[in-house]
Amino acid sequence: MATVKEVLTMLNNFAPEEHVYKQEYDNIGLLFGEPHAQVNKVLVCLDATEAVLDEAIATGSSMIVSHHPFIYAPIKRINSDDLMGRKILKAARAGLNIYSAHTNLDFVKDGINEYLAVMMHLHNIMPLQPYISPTEGFGRVGDLTNKVYANDLALGIEALLNDSLVRVVAPKAAQVRRVAIINGGGGGDTKYIDMALAAGADCLITADVKHHVAVYAKEMGLTLIEPQHYTMEHVYIARLVQVLKIEAKSYDLGIEIIQAKSETNPRTGLRQ
C-alpha cells in the first residue's frame, strides 16, 4: 500500500505542479488530507462533488484525484449547514485525501487539451502559447487534413463529445482548417480570440463563451465552436485513469485506480 506522498510524486511526474502559471484563481495540489496517510484505491473525477465523495466512501477509496479544484474560494467557516462545509466534514470523517490537478493537467503534454486535439485527428499539434517547453503550455493548435465547413465541424464535435448543446459563431458557409483548442472556460476574454488569431487559427473550440467575446470573434472573422465545459473535459477522465494506471505500475505503488461513475452533466442531467 502506498502513501499519499508517494501518489503525489507519481502525479507530479506526469503533470508537474510547478509547470503552470501562478494564477490567483487557480488552486492545485493536495487540497485536503494527510501526506503520510495510506492509499489503497484512487477515485478519479472531473469534480469532487458530494456524490463523488459518497462514491469514494462506498467504493473504499482513500484518495480522490479531481481535475477541478476541490477548494476554490477562501473558506470562512466549516459547518454542516453549508455545502462546502458538509463536504469537508464528510471527507474528514471518512479519512479521504483530495488532490486536484487543474492547470498542470491542462498544460502538460498528453494532458487534457492535447487529448481533444488528438481525438480530432489534428496534425502539427503544438501549444497555443508554449510554456516551459515547446510541447507544454496553454491550449493547443493544429491543422485539419482538409478544410471543412464550420457547421460540419461542430456536428463532428457534438458526436465526439456526446454533446447536443454545441453552439457556433461563424459567418454563413465559413470554412476552417487550422483549429485552436482551449478546454473548459476559454470563452471569457477576448484575449483568447487574439491568441488564436496570432497562431493562425481560423477556428477556436472552447466553452463558457460570453456575449461580448462572441461578438468580438464574429467581427474578427474567427469561427467559434462552443461545446459545454463539462463535455469538453469529462471526456478526458477515462484517459487520465489509463495514464495513472501506467504511472502507478511504473512506481510499483500497488494501488487501484478507478473512474467515478456518479458524475453527471449539470446542464442536462445526462450521464456522459
**Domain made up of 112-229: CATH architecture:** 3-Layer(aba) Sandwich (3.40)
Domain definitions of the chain by residue range: 2-104+236-259, 112-229
Whether this model's pTM surpasses 0.85 = yes
Query: What is the per-residue pLDDT for 131?
Result: 85
Q: Counting Cβ atoms within 10 Å, is residue 3 exposed (0-12), middle (13-18) or buried (19+)?
A: middle
pLDDT tens track of the chain, all 272 residues?
A: 899 999 999 999 999 988 675 555 689 999 999 999 999 999 999 999 999 999 999 999 999 999 999 998 889 999 999 999 999 999 999 999 999 999 999 999 999 999 999 999 999 999 999 988 899 999 999 999 999 999 999 999 999 999 999 999 998 789 999 999 999 999 999 999 999 999 999 999 999 999 999 999 999 999 999 999 999 999 999 999 999 999 999 999 999 999 999 999 998 755 44
Alpha helices (H) along 26-102: 50-59, 83-94
Cα separation, 232 vs 128, in Å, equals: 17
pLDDT of residue 21: 56
Residue pair 49/90 in contact (Cβ under 8 Å)? The answer is: no
The yes-or-no answer to whether 2-104+236-259 and 112-229 have a common fold is yes
Q: What angle do CA 165, 28, 228 make, to 5 degrees?
A: 0
> What pLDDT does 25 receive?
63
Fold exhibited by the domain 2-104+236-259: 3.40.1390
Whole-angstrom distance, CA of residue 270 vs CA of residue 109: 30
Residue 22 has a pLDDT of 53
**Which segments of the chain are extended strands (E)?**
2-3, 29-32, 38-39, 41-45, 63-66, 97-100, 123-126, 129-131, 133-138, 140-149, 167-169, 175-182, 203-206, 223-226, 256-259
